[in-house]
Amino acid sequence: MSRLTDFFSDRIQVNSLLIVLCFVSVLLLSSQSAASYATYLLALAMLFTVRQWNDVFQVRLLWLILALLGYLTLSSFWSTPFEMRDFLSVLTRAVLIFFFVVAFAEAQQRGQLRRWLARALAVVGSLATAAAIVVYVVTDPADGRLNGLGQLDTNVIAALVFGVVLIFVFDVVMTDASRAWRRMAMLAALVIVPAIVLTDSRTAIVSGVIGCGVFLLAHRVRDPQRFVAGVIALAVILAGILAGLIASEETRDVLLPRGDSFRPGIWAVAVDRIADGHVWFGLGIATPDNVTVDETEFLHPHNMYLSVAYQGGLLGLTLLVVLVLWVLNELRRNYADRDAKLALGVLGVALPAYLLDGHELLDKVGSTWFLFWLPVAVALGLRWRSPRQGL
């Protein structure tokens, strides 16, 4: 009983537990609102203890994060049509993201969060992917694609999140002190990899390969300059392979059975809307971004960077790009840290995938938290604990 009391009297451990529940809920719960309960508790816990962590406001990286969150939230006011309900919804999402990023960054410095989260995702991720495979086999979907359970109800989102989970599984295999956990993680990988392949998402499969390659390279190469050179070499090799496959008609149909999936047409329509008087500030985050191409309606522009430009114009896109570059630089500066290597792997999945998919940077707990806000939180934690944290 005393051990349980000690656990719940330690707010960092409680926050770490809530963060783990946030991510696990995405894999298990189909309702995003239900999965968000843990994020509400985390936000309240952080709000009531603000005096214990408010030194994070000395970190300049936090102000860049706040600038992006705040600006996209304010873009609700020039959305068409403007509704106060939309503004409050976006504001709530931005607040939840802010408290999550700070809580993760603070808990990360204790050192136990990564281990807890990696183990939890290895267990729950393997169970979730195994269940998804069973459903896939039993139902035999008409499109031949595996969809995830919980909130991962589309093949692309499922594959991208499974890719991040796979990186955490590799982290257990390579860094966990327990032999039993390492063996369990190896078994988890044997389940997760086929699930990603069965989603038949070319974007996610290629991005997953890049992310895992970046993560493994970071663990094998000690020098950051050589790591960067290795990543560039990996990108060139993959680009060459893909170009060769696309150049041949026989392999192109296998690689791209659905052709270009209307991407050029979708992007052209979105760019035309932005160019029509909305270049600098965008159309607003709450403006519908449905796109119709050849009488087919698509729910969003299928490109995270273009979506941010659509919502917040060049100003919003600039804030996003600067944040990504700042995060990457922080991870490079702390290259020897295991958390930095993990975050680099996750961004290795996210940044290429966002060229062809993604549309809600400000969202409740879900795929974007796995792919983007988690590595941002890692970078903030690394800078926060630095002696020269203001830089």
In a domain, 369, yes or no: yes
Residues linked to residue 292 through DSSP beta bridges, in sequence order: 297
Tokens linked to 166: 């796979």
Closest CA to 198 of 134, 145, 120: 145
In a domain, 68, yes or no: yes
Token pair 């960077």 is at which residue? 305
Distances (CA, A) of 355 to 267, 297, 351: 11, 20, 7
Distances (CA, A) of 304 to 310, 355, 361: 10, 7, 7
Question: DSSP 3-state assignment of 297?
Answer: strand
The string over 28-46, giving b where at least 16 C-beta atoms fall within 10 Å of a residue's C-beta and e elsewhere, is: bbeeeeebbbbbbbbbeeb
What confidence score (pLDDT) does residue 255 get? 56
Q: How far apart are CA 370 and CA 338, in angstroms?
A: 17
What global pTM score does this model have?
0.93
Class of residue 275 by CB neighbours under 10 A (exposed 0-12, middle 13-18, buried 19+) = exposed
Domain span at residue 340? 11-222+262-384
In a domain, 137, yes or no: yes
Q: How many domains does the chain have?
A: 1
Are the C-beta atoms of residues 203 and 302 closer than 8 Å to each other?
no
Tokens linked to 106: 């603070």
Q: Which DSSP string corresponds to 88-157?
A: HHHHHHHHHHHHHHHHHHHHHTTS-HHHHHHHHHHHHHHHHHHHHHHHHHHH--TT-----STT--SHHH
Distances (CA, A) of 3 to 98, 108, 110, 114, 311: 31, 22, 18, 22, 49
Continuous H helices in the chain: 2-9, 11-28, 32-35, 37-48, 60-74, 84-108, 113-139, 155-175, 179-198, 202-220, 224-247, 249-255, 263-275, 304-333, 338-353, 367-368, 374-384
Are the C-beta atoms of residues 72 and 362 closer than 8 Å to each other?
yes
In a domain, 333, yes or no: yes
Per-residue pLDDT of the chain (391 residues; tens, 9 = 90+): 566 565 667 889 999 999 999 999 999 888 888 889 999 999 999 999 999 999 999 999 999 999 999 999 999 999 998 899 999 999 999 999 999 999 999 999 888 898 999 999 999 999 999 999 999 999 888 788 888 877 777 888 999 999 999 999 999 999 998 999 999 999 999 999 999 999 988 888 989 999 999 999 999 999 999 998 988 888 888 778 767 766 666 665 555 555 556 677 888 888 899 998 899 999 999 998 887 777 666 777 888 999 999 999 999 999 999 999 999 999 999 999 999 999 999 999 999 999 988 888 999 999 999 999 999 999 999 999 875 544 4
What confidence score (pLDDT) does residue 256 get? 56
Distances (CA, A) of 141 to 31, 134, 253: 22, 12, 21
Token pair 């696309």 is at which residue? 246
> Residue 203: how many CB atoms within 10 A of its CB?
22
In a domain, 6, yes or no: no
In a domain, 103, yes or no: yes
In a domain, 195, yes or no: yes
φ, ψ of residue 296 in degrees (nearest 5): -110, 130
Amino acid 295 reads E
In a domain, 253, yes or no: no
Question: DSSP 3-state assignment of 293?
Answer: strand
Q: How far apart are CA 129 and CA 171, in angstroms?
A: 18
